[in-house]
Amino acid sequence: MAASTLSLLPIPTKTASSLLQPSNPRAVRLSSSLLAGSISLASASLLPRPSVRSAAVVSSLPTAKPERASAEKMPNNEWDRWSLMAIKAFGMAELEARKLKYPKTGTEALLMGILVEGTNEASKFLRAIGITLFKVREESVKLLGKSDLFFFSPEHPPLTDSAQRALDWAVDEKLKSGEDGEITTAHMLLGIWSEKESAGYKILASLGFDDQKASELTKSANKDVVMNSR
């Protein structure tokens, strides 16, 4: 009872202030400096950071031809000038391969990448004839099956031989044409169609794509460039 009574008694102001004063002034200076440091770190994190240019591929895609691999290191080379939409489609193809847990990026993944990018002329052409991303994914699983549940694809799944040949075919055809401009998603799609034994070719054929439609697509092969220049 005495303890309860004492706890209710008022504490003199002088005594209260003495209780609030630290016994070690150095501890105050240390804690203050630490607090100031944390505040400065917090404020620094809010400041805009200088932009850093990424090391992403700018104008070239993988090639199996040594002369092109060396030309890629030269500025303004004339070998592999892919359009921005084609570069994006290739990145989406790698992502689709990873989603399906495939160990490599095949022609079926390149086809899905074109459709995922969505704004290029090749994807518009495919959708116009009823070939959609959902259908291509479904046919890919039917043809190639599903990967093991616990398998994880590499961050950048390497190209299959047929996918690499499809990309090199696209470059070859562009160079043979003698026309200026970049290599587009239409060239990439036609490259997939050129690989008769590939999964991408079989999927396209099963969904109604044929040589006549390939000829129609050839007429608009350079339209990605027009879109990119806007």
Q: Which stretch of DSSP H or E encloses residue 137?
A: helix 133-144
SS3 assignment for 78-97: CCCCECHHHHHHHHHHHHHH
What are the C-alpha distances in Å from 141 to residues 49, 80, 169? 43, 31, 26
Give the pLDDT confidence score for residue 176 in this predicted structure.
Answer: 87
Q: What averages of pLDDT result for each successive group of 10 residues across the chain (230 residues)?
A: 45 47 49 46 45 42 65 46 94 93 94 97 96 97 83 84 96 87 94 97 97 92 55
Query: Among positive and negative, which fits the CA dihedral 149, 150, 154, 158?
Result: negative
Identify the burial level of 125 via C-beta atoms within 10 angstroms of its C-beta, where 0-12 means exposed, 13-18 middle and 19 or more buried. Answer: buried
pTM for the predicted model, two decimal places = 0.67
Query: What's the pLDDT score for residue 227?
Result: 42
pLDDT of residue 187: 95
The C-alpha atoms of residue 91 and residue 110 are separated, in whole angstroms, by 9
